[in-house]
Amino acid sequence: MGERTRAVEGVAMSGFWQGRTTFITGAYGLLGQWLVRRLISEGADVVCLARDQQPLESHHAPIKLVRGDVRDGALLERVLNEHEVNTVFHLAAQSIVPRANAEPAPTFDTNVAGTWALLEACRRNPAVRQIVVASSDKAYGQHDTVPYHEAMPLQGRHPYEVSKACADLLAQSYAHTYNLPVAITRCGNFYGGGDLNWNRIVPGTIRSVLRGERPVIRSDGQYVRDYLYIEDGVSAYLLLGARMSTAGLRGQAFNFSNEAPVTVLEIVERILKLMDSSLRPEIRNEASGEIRSQYLSAAKARGELGWQPEYCLDEGLRRTIEWYTKFWKENT
């Protein structure tokens, strides 16, 4: 780990989170699971909102679990008040692009209505001092110039893109109209152990290899994307949350990326190589309604927050493969 990375970790681990009551929506998602685990290790008092009846077994520590829907504003107000929440990470969303294209109404309902319900509840509670809202690189829509930077307009066209752009703009609106202490993250595609949505390219490819099956690529394999290892994503969120307590970051958005875009085919081939597999991918060329080439500049995060990823793509993939290999042995 380099000196700069150690400095970043020092900010996040300087005791800021010790005893801090932190509320997380979307705690069952990939990012949510890892963020909860890290916050617990930092000594935070973690409160999670959960819609589905699932145990948070992977956290291995007591948390305060509230059952409910992120669109329920009265519930959110009660949770913030009763638990005296200081910091909020809003991660809850319908995040599967093909599902959003097939079923736009529930995607808009969760991603947009859920965001304004959360922001309104925070506006009514002066104890909330930091709010980090998860937007997405998809909120930018399609631009002719890459990489995308934070000054570019949000011009999503397809349902998922539009839902995230709406959530992003809602956060900006509450920051500028009501001085709500909210900042926004725009990240590339997260990957890492614990994502059991097998339709996603990284876990799906690893599972296929473990099964001895050809991995499936829905597109022609030439779509270009960012892939950010989940532990780097968690560090980015914690750093932004901590810096909001001292820096003038209200209403600002930050891209987080390892700035090493690859095609879908390239990431599949890297996984196959790392797993010593001779399997060849099945390229179906069925994808539609997705942006052809999209990746981010993280220059603002590097310059203003001092953030940079710790894991290169191959190292992140190695760690991810190790997680799924162990999971596969324990569950098959």
Interval 145-201: pLDDT, tens: 999 999 999 999 999 999 999 999 999 999 999 999 999 999 999 999 999 999 999
Is residue 309 packed enough to be buried (19+ CB in 10 Å), middle (13-18) or exposed (0-12)?
Answer: buried
Rounded-to-integer distance, Cα 324 and Cα 27, Å? 20
Superfamily of domain 3-194+227-259+294-310: NAD(P)-binding Rossmann-like Domain (3.40.50.720)
Q: What per-residue confidence (pLDDT) applies to 4?
A: 41
Q: What per-residue confidence (pLDDT) applies to 53?
A: 58
| Count of C-beta atoms within a 10 Å radius of residue 249 | 22
Per the document, the length of the chain is 332
Nearest alpha-carbon partner for 244 in 303, 315, 183: 183
Q: What per-residue confidence (pLDDT) applies to 31?
A: 97
- For residues 23 and 41, is the Cβ–Cβ distance under 8 A? no
Rounded-to-integer distance, Cα 116 and Cα 96, Å? 20
Q: What per-residue confidence (pLDDT) applies to 11?
A: 47
How do residues 51-62 score in pLDDT, each as one tens digit? 875 555 444 457
Chain center to CA of 162: 17
Model pTM score: 0.93
Residue numbers of the chain with a pLDDT score lower than 70: 1-14, 53-61, 289
Q: For this structure, is 160 an active site residue?
A: yes
Residue of 28, 160, 191, 237 marked active site: 160
